[in-house]
Structure 1
Amino acid sequence: MADNKMTPEQLHLVKRNNIFKGTMILALAGFITRAIGFFYKIFLSNTMGAELLGIYQLIFPVYGIAFTVYATGIQTSLSRLVAAELGKRNDKNIFRILRIGLLLSVSLAFIMSTLVYFGSDYIALRFLLEERSAKSLRIMAFVFPFCGITSCINGYYYGLKKTAIPASTQLLEQAVRVIAVYGIALWAGNGELSVTCELAVVGIVFGEIASCLYNVLSLFFPKSPDKFLVLEPDPNAKMSSKKQITKEILHVSVPLSANRLLINILHSIETVLIPTMLRRFGLTTSEALSTYGI
């Protein structure tokens, strides 16, 4: 926390440096994560085959729609509200905003988990048009609450302009996913790599649980919220009611989630239509999924 006598120029410089530093950290983490993901997809293609990879990729529209419902808008609203409280030098509401956001996100995540788990056969057959994806959907359903927790805590840190935790979370999740899939495949295959769709989804679960635990643990070793303020806390700042904070979170998150949900639904329809149209124009199911999986 800086001296309360900072000039406007010094304050502007501190904020600009924080933004630049945060941007660079996220950009570097994003680059490394995408590089790992690129080679991981090659690994999956070689060990699963194009057809199974196509089935594996079919479940992600469901993942994207569910994530939009329980996380996308709430994460953004948490970032915005925490940043606003930081700007007002009010450290009293910051943890309360996080707690309420977590409650909303995890509640929605459990609802989505229940719907996907028990509706997996219907979703696989009627929406994805590939009944073999049902088991993968049931496994994936377990990950939603962990994703909700991670996204909320990341949003909290984005609002505090502390991007190191979200950036390292991305790297940890990707690393654990790859190591888990490789290790289990090697163990199950008695030294020979053999990856199934279900195992690849288990890797997602392991990665998300690891990143969730890491994020939760990071909250137990933090500076107190007032330490993130550039200036001294406002002694006249008041704590908002839970009802008011909930209303503010929903006011920001609902329109964002609705907009993103529409985009994801359209993208999901496009994704599902690709193998369907390939089959319609003469390819077998195996050939269509193989083409889609490449």
Structure 2
Amino acid sequence: MTIRKRKIVRLILVALFTSVFLIATVNAIENDTNACFEEYKNDPEIFACRGKLPDVMDKEWNNSIKNCWMNLTRMGRSEFDSSFRAIGSRDRVLNVYLSSDYQDEIDDARIDKIYNIIENYCEEQEGINEVPVVFLWQEDEIWYPEYGHESFERIQNESWLITTRGIVPEIDELSEKIAWTDKLTKITENVEGMEQYYYGMYGDRTVYGFGAHLNGYITVEFNSESPELINESVINDIYQMIDETAEEKGISDVPVVFRWSEKDIEETEDTPGFTSTMLVLGLALAIGIRRV
């Protein structure tokens, strides 16, 4: 083989090696992008992840991710995707719930589209780059309990219960229950003044959760670590804000449950949320409690 031919062969081999290396590198990057964060990689409920966790998750980061989530909950489902059902917050990571009916239709491109909407919004509103998001499936089948006075009776002996206000209407038909909880969700979306309790009006965060519950009422969840901050005046003030908003929507004696948080939210933050609120009892529903 001549020297010229040997040079050509070497150049071809180098080119082939470089191509293989680049392809492997690109694939590795893509796989890393789509891989779940370390603490979620073995979670069977999570089928995709996007973004990345920051090196430092301090109070500023925690507040930013929560602010981003709360604002995202005010967006309509259709602004994300037809498969979109809910958005929530857990362990400082945003959770996106997609309808399980779309499992055969969801691909990486569709997930990326949803993620880009979230990422752009969080970056614009809170300056969060590569916001960490996990994707989970939600069953569309929803079971609703009996509505009426039983709703409050079922929780009377719970250790977390503080008090109740208003009346849960007697509703039998499933379609009417869904319509009722949708109304409660809209009320929680439009209550003004709750933010003062989310972020330390009294030096510490007072309200951890706020939203519509599967049992047909609105739930306000107080910080169990600071019971000295909760009194009749605080409860009455919050109920008045909720009731006034409900009255504007034609609902009198809106039912509200005031309760203690069961865990330190800073540690667990297991808060699947919906287009306006957070999930209750671990069920992915079209209603829920928004933890803040």
Tell me whether the two structures share a fold, i.e. TM-score over 0.5.
no
**Greater helix share, 1 or 2?**
1
Q: TM-score, normalised by structure 2?
A: 0.24
Q: Choose between structure 1 and 2 for higher RCO, CA contacts under 8 A separated by at least 6 residues.
A: 1
**Greater strand share, 1 or 2?**
2
